[in-house]
A and B are shown apart, each in its own frame.
Chain A
């Protein structure tokens, strides 16, 4: 036995038409952590989660959750996990409690304790007052909260959240984050989430797994990933390219500076103390900057550096369209 609650070995999914959604990933996820899959739409996050939660079977490779194989022991896996799919799954024509009680019946949970559990869960996400209301009367944020606890009725050890805040406005999203943290603290579940929002991965995850084109690019804590950038960036724009070469000679830069047109990007240890030194240096050399800016390490930059792409903050609509395309592929 290991300390890992989830382990995967060369997990692969190829869709018909030789579309390789997930290309053999190795993962070890610790008990009690929030593990975030971060990547652009179509990176293979949802496919990975769907395999782990037994909705689709892997093409090759293996994975186990709490020691149970996801293919051979899929029913046992299903009993021990909670899943919150990307789409809204509550039946609008039923009341919130009715949806939750139906799920309790799916797991053959005895009535009295499960009803008590359901009441607790509703209170956990501040839906205690509206449990008896029809789901169709709920706002978007309320529905997402209901979805969150719909995955918790069977008291799972592992909870999968697929894009838990997709399509929510900024305020509602921040609230949703608080609820997810509360779930982990109060119930002690291991949470696996996917997201294409950098702030979300940063805010929630203990460890982040950056995934692109079906491959794992890197895994680490947010701090580790940012540290891999080695420092802050100072970006200087000047009138002519000639002076950039002079700026590049600045002794405080840690790496070979990157020149792009009239712009130069210097990596320094600490921008706060290095910026005045750079200013001094430039004045002495007689260079007048047009523009100067400082960038502290962000996951954005980590992503940019590792994948060579910026993770685009897609507009809700196009993200939705892409999600639909992926869904069609999965069918």
Chain B
């Protein structure tokens, strides 16, 4: 995989040097939690007693922000993963791709540098997002038993979902030439991925068919895994089991997409 490191460094340089890009990428998820997270005041919806009742569909979330953090982290990685694909098209349209293709580097390293840099960006965004959610009034409330295993689950879930989405969008971009087409496809798949999932709403509140569909959505897997560790902290063994199962699904999906990306990029990428 020669070329992977210099190309990843290039991507990250371009990212942190572009202030608009950099800050928009950080501010946008904060908007999500502050604005969308405040859209539902659980206390108004369910009453103070309702929020603390195990019958609440959001139980044991003390507020909506705490409930959706896992979903927002996942959706953010979906949006950031898009740039992996978009940047492949830019490289092709602006010329650098011709240079990469005549260099003695493996063709997949061109694509994987985008995947790696997107993943890195997603982790940075996640740290800032969680910090922001902790600071704001009536924001994220961490359980007392929050531990290293929980942090591990969040990081692994995000890395796997980041690898999956940025690989997916790269695969779309490998064959496409037009920016408009890429954005069209991205918009087409982003909406169902977000709304047919447990990212923003619990299954209990969904139409039953949507709830069934959402169970097969990787956005749900990552959201639920992160949500479980954030809401419960110290997990029971059955909770640990379901969280690990989500991570396994995510791992399988990521492996499949990364291998597919490798094969397609070695074979198909052209200027």
Contact = CB atoms under 8 A, between A and B. Distances in A.
B6 interface: yes
Contact of A94 (B10, B103, B270): B10
19 contacts: A78-B104, A85-B95, A85-B271, A87-B95, A90-B99, A93-B14, A93-B17, A94-B10, A94-B13, A94-B14, A98-B13, A101-B6, A102-B10, A103-B103, A105-B3, A106-B3, A106-B6, A107-B104, A108-B2
Contact of A106 (B2, B13, B18, B270): B2
B5 A105 contact: yes
Contacts, number: 68
B102 A87 contact: no
A196 B5 CA distance: 38
B13 A55 contact: no
B99 A150 contact: yes
A54 interface: yes
Nearest to A98: B13
Contacts of B105: 106
A75 interface: yes
A102 B104 contact: no
Q: Contact residue range for chain B? A: 20 to 34
Interface of B: 2-3, 5-7, 9-10, 13-14, 17-18, 94-105, 177, 270-271
A98 B12 CA distance: 13
A205 B223 CA distance: 64
Contact of B95 (A90, A93, A101): A90
Interface in A58-91: 75, 78-79, 83, 85, 87-91
Of the four ranges (under 10, 10 to 19, 20 to 34, 35 or more), the interface on chain A belongs to 20 to 34
B137 to A, nearest CB: 39
A151 B97 CA distance: 14
A291 interface: no
Interface string A312-331: 00000000000000010011
Contacts of B2: 106, 108
A55 B271 contact: yes
